Amino acid sequence: MKFFAVLALCIVGAIAAPLSADQASLVQSSWAGVRHNEVEILAAVFAAYPDIQARFPQFAGKDLASLKDTGAFATHAGRIVGFVSEIIALIGNESNAPAVQTLVGQLAASHKGRGIQQAQFNEFRTALVSYLSSNVSWNAATAAAWTVGLDNIYGLLFAGL
């Protein structure tokens, strides 16, 4: 068991290039501009990738326009965006790395049990970045910061799937 813990730490060390303070600030400030758009963010993900919507039993096969006005949709969107917000609040401070690893590890474990594949996570990432780039001030530096941050998170996530 100790071997697996050491191996996991080596993998994390190899894939996680920490964000600079400037990059963390760019991610955090751009996220601040949309973090209260929970329903719109999840709707954008589902619109771009209906296969993701199909993975949610309570939303599968339902019209997205009508779903957006339901409490169940708003609640679930709040959970997803809240998780992203929690991670973003922790970035940029190396002492928060264990907390990020724990949170992302829990996400990986819960989604692995539901059969969620890397492909769906990559689709979510693509839709999220598309939403961000259309709804916040977006330039090459912001895009690069998000790429580094998401690469770090996804490296941890995929190590746990």
The Cα 103–Cα 156 span in angstroms is: 10
Tell me if 64 is assigned to some domain: yes
Q: What is the mean pLDDT of the chain?
A: 90
In a domain, 65, yes or no: yes
Rounded Cα distance, 14 and 8, in Å: 10
Domain that holds residue 119: 31-160
Report if residue 12 sits inside a domain. no
Note the pLDDT of residue 161. Answer: 87
Place of tokens 């977006």: 138
Q: Give the whole-angstrom CA distance, residue 61 versus residue 27.
A: 34
Q: What integer pLDDT is reported at residue 81 of this predicted model?
A: 97
Could you tell me if residue 70 is inside a domain?
Answer: yes
pTM for this entry: 0.87
Tokens of residue 158, six digits: 């995929």
Tens of pLDDT, residue by residue over 48-101, are: 999 999 999 999 999 999 999 999 999 999 999 999 999 999 998 999 999 999
Q: Which CATH number does the domain housing residue 79 bear?
A: 1.10.490.10
Q: Is the pLDDT of residue 16 over 80?
A: no
Max Cα distance, the chain (Å)? 50
Domain presence at residue 20: no
> Structurally, how many domains does the chain consist of?
1
